[in-house]
Structure 1
Amino acid sequence: MSRQIEPASPACSQDGIDERRAQWAAELPEVDTRGMAILGRARWITLTARPPTEAIFKTHGLDSGEADVLFSLLRSGPPYRLRPTELFRSLMISSGGLTDRLNRLTKAGLIRRASAEGDGRSLPVELTEEGIARAREAFREDMAIEAAMLDGLTEDEQVRLADLLRKLASTVTATRPFG
């Protein structure tokens, strides 16, 4: 049976999850909807947080996929260079998706690739000076917006939530039925 989790305040119910759980409890009372209370809410938060983040990237001439590539290169530290295979693994996308992003970023002058004959998958990808500057600025703005989104939680609550989500991520990873 689903355990109902009542919102702490009216602001907490804006995601509609508690209402949906109540509806499912009436329709299928034997179904456990605790996952919806947590994973459904996490999905709602992600979908709600995404537009302002994407708007930041757009002001820098980027989409979220391109920003991911730039941020991966930037956080790798000087010389801000990785092999495509390293990028592919850190981004969890298809190799074709990565190639498309790399082509767009190269055309925009934000990354460069060593020019040599042979397999392009082994040629290092590195940030240009413009790529470094744009990545730094976009990341700063992104983190400022994300920090503002957390303002409703105390510092202790943020630490506890991060710890719980880390634990949940470990459980989800260990129990997932796919690759």
Structure 2
Amino acid sequence: MQQHSGHEGAVDAVDAIVRDWERERPDLDVDPLRIFSRVKRIAKQLDTVRKSAFAATGLELWEFDVLAALRRAGAPHRLSPKQLLAITLVSSGTMTNRLDRLAARGLVRREADPHDGRGVLVTMTDAGRVRVDEALTRLVAAERQLLEDLDPESRDGLADSLRRLTVAMEIDEHDERVRP
């Protein structure tokens, strides 16, 4: 079992920022800053870690996203461009460009959809599978290091809290009343 390294009660930069805002704006409840400022800082650090893990395998972040979607689809690691759009949340023009670039590198290939004479399916090649598997292995190792100061119970609690927040925010995306 991983030992907790004793960071309870530690103060970070966000604590100082929140304290400053509480002093300068005592009329305003700045409590959300405690969470979202940390999420933003973590996201920035995570982006750097991910770029490094993927660069070691010759992949860009966007390449990993597309290849990972195909890998998670299971054998034969094939999806339609429309399915890839829904998963990666990019425009069709962006997806076309990405698929062209991945195909040129031999990481995916386009094939006619046997069920739709006009449709196309995108299939990950063996080279793409090897590359995404290596990238995922490096990513998980790097992310595990980021979490090493949290015991399993803390990690589970954090994952549960973030899941609830994500679900709530995804629901709110469709509710115009919560948008500023």
| Structure ranking higher on relative contact order (CA contacts 8 Å, 6+ apart) | 2
In 2: Cα distance, 1:101 partner to 1:52 partner: 22
Shift of 1:9: 3.9
Return the letter of the residue paired with 2:73.
S
Instruction: Report the secondary structure of 1:113's partner residue.
Output: strand
Give the CA deviation at 1:57: 1.1
2:158 match: 161
How big is the shift at 1:158? 0.6
* Structure 2 residue 49 is the aligned partner of structure 1 residue 35: no
Q: How many residues align?
A: 166
Give the Cα separation in 1 of the matches to 2:128 and 2:92.
21
Distance in 2 of aligned mates of 1:122 and 1:33: 51
Distance 1:28 1:96 in 2: 45
Which runs of structure 1 show a deviation greater than 6 angstroms over 4 or more consecutive aligned residues? none
Residue 8 in structure 1 maps to residue 8 in structure 2: yes
- 2:56 matched to 1:59? yes
Write the deviation string for residues 141-168 of structure 1: whole angstroms up to 9, x where unpaired. 1111111111110001111111111111
Cα pair 2:112 2:119 within 8 Å, conserved: no
1:141 to 138, 142, 157: 138
* Structure 1 gaps, min length 5: 1-6
Cα drift, residue 115 of structure 1: 5.5
Match of 1:124, SS?
A: strand
CA distance in 1, matches of 2:81, 2:129: 18
Q: Structure 1 vs Structure 2: percent identity of aligned residues?
A: 32
How far the C-alpha of 1:8 sits from its partner, in A, is 3.5
Aligned match for 2:21, one of 18, 21, 24: 24
Aligned counterparts of 1:97 and 1:37: Cα–Cα separation in 2: 35
1:68 corresponds, among 65, 69, 73, to 65
Kept in 1, the 8 Å contact 2:110–2:123? The answer is: yes
Q: What TM-score comes out, normalization by structure 1 length?
A: 0.86
Structure 2 portions without partners, runs of 5+: 1-6
Distance in structure 1 (CA, Å) of the matches to 2:172 and 2:81: 29
Q: CA RMSD in A?
A: 2.0
